Chains A and B, each alone.
Chain A
Amino acid sequence: MRANTIEVSRLCKRYGPAVALDDMTFTVRPGHVTGFVGPNGAGKSTTMRVILGLDRADAGTALVGGRRYAELTRPLTHVGALIDPGALAPTRSGRNHLLWLAHSQRLPARRVDEVLDLVGLAKAARRHAGGYSLGMKQRLGVAAALLGDPPILILDEPFNGLDPEGIVWMRELLRDLAAQQRSVLIASHLMSELQDLAGHLVMVGRGHVVADEPVAALTGRHGSLEAAYLALTRTEVEFRAAR
């Protein structure tokens, strides 16, 4: 059970006077897509970066499959992540980008071609990744996340830049991955998308959790996920246009 959960416990982090994480605590379980939502600056990306060992928290722990990310050998076989689709060398081809990643995890080159087919990039795989559109970079990022066939997936705004066909594809892919008893955590601002896709929601504001419950419970009480979001984050918003 613990092998594919994400456990975030009492994370705190400050950047100078600004509080980024303030006692952030939640658990992501397998079997359904978990939406991770909240206003800009609420700490979603920082939480994801701390889970993945890219940032250090001042206090608290973040465990993937019961262990700290930095302790994992061959981490991509435990956790697949897409944080920044632009995190690649622009003059290296998409295929070679995946190839060095595969080598770093002692995965066979065959796996590279499998994930390229899976994300529909096989034709563009030998072109420089710097020339890809944002949608193609997202697909390459998803390919990298799936390279190690991990039981846990962490994706930041995976729908960004995708065309309508790509959005449908991504939705089906995420559903399938969750149905295979993986933990799937998705940060997104698209409430209508999450309402159909996610089974569970973690809503955050100002660095802490304001709601952590099934999507059905939220929509039952508020009518829609968007209404639930607006009601629950009203007091948590850092930036808002005057009305």
Chain B
Amino acid sequence: MRAELTKLRTRRGPLLLLILLVAVTAAGSAMAVVDGPDPVHASLQGVLIGQAVAALAGVQLLAGEYSTGLIQTTWLAVPRRLPVLFAKSAWLLLGVSGAALLAVGASVLAGRLISSSYPALTSTTVLRAAAGSVLYLSLTALFGLGVGALLRNAPFAAGATLSALYVIPAIIPFFPDRDWQEALYRIGPSTAGLSIQTTADPASLPIGPWAGLAVTAAWALGTLASGGWLLRRR
């Protein structure tokens, strides 16, 4: 645990990524605020950009070590390997959830200040959407770490993770069959997970808010578990 923290704080990259996560999420959200039917949802749109930063932070953490060759030294120091994955998961979760808390807090605050129809910040809908967004960003980062453990190649892992997050929502409209559209929505890590942000009529969505977030969690844990199993086998 301590060694992985030392790794993180002795390079500038990890901290810059967290700052970037806060900046793009808050900025994206502030620009998206409108007095529409669901101002809370609109005020959290920065998460759509922030998720890329969170995912890349996860990818970089392990798969990035394969790019530099550092991974060999890491395995020599910790030949059991799984403790490395656990420690990285823990610090990633801590770092990204902290940054996400700042980012989402700023987003909601901006929404409240700009939009006149915004509900009270302490209302359960706002709290659910905000807390859910923080969880969503943290899970996205873990998903990136898991894909990195599976593929052990940073460019491939980044491509695969971002495709899962962005390509699935992009291709949904091209399916003529509504059942197919809804099925894809329910299994996509970003589409399902982001349903947590909807505060106006969430019942109209193909998947409920917490069930949707559970789908994202399943992607994160599934890739981490299979990635961890592969790391041990090699």
Contacts and interface: CB of A to CB of B under 8 A. Distances in A.
Same complex origin of A and B: yes
B6 A88 contact: no
Of the listed residues A72, A87, A96, A101, the one surrounded by the most CB atoms of chain B closer than 10 A to its CB is: A87
B76 A100 contact: no
A91 B12 contact: yes
A93 B9 CA distance: 12
Contact of A104 (B12, B70, B72, B78): B78
What is the size category of the interface that chain B forms with chain A?
20 to 34
Interface in B127-175: none
B76 A84 contact: no
Interface residues of A, number: 29
B28 to A, nearest CB: 28
B2 A87 contact: no
A105 B73 CA distance: 13
Interface in B66-85: 68-73, 75-80
B76 A52 contact: yes
Interface in A114-132: none
Contact of A88 (B4, B5, B69): B69
B80 A89 contact: no
A102 to B, nearest CB: 8
A88 B68 contact: yes
Nearest 8 Cβ contacts at the A-B interface? A104-B3, A96-B10, A100-B6, A103-B3, A87-B72, A104-B77, A70-B79, A53-B79
B37 interface: no
B3 A92 contact: no
Contacts of B178: none
B3 A84 contact: no
Given A56-B234, A75-B76, A89 B3 contact: no
A70 B83 CA distance: 12
B234 A92 contact: no
A101 B77 contact: yes
Interface of B: 2-7, 10-13, 65, 68-73, 75-80, 233-234
Contacts of A104: 2-3, 77-78
Interface of A: 52-54, 56, 69-70, 72, 75-76, 81, 83-84, 86-93, 96-97, 99-101, 103-105, 144
Contacts of A105: 77
Given A53-B76, A104-B2, 7 more contacts: A69-B79, A70-B80, A75-B76, A75-B77, A87-B72, A89-B11, A100-B10
B76 A76 contact: yes
Contacts of B10: 92-93, 96, 99-100
Given A89-B11, A91-B13, A105-B77, A100 B72 contact: no
A185 to B, nearest CB: 15
17 contacts: A54-B72, A70-B79, A75-B76, A81-B76, A87-B72, A88-B70, A90-B68, A91-B11, A91-B12, A91-B13, A92-B7, A92-B11, A93-B10, A101-B3, A101-B77, A103-B2, A144-B73
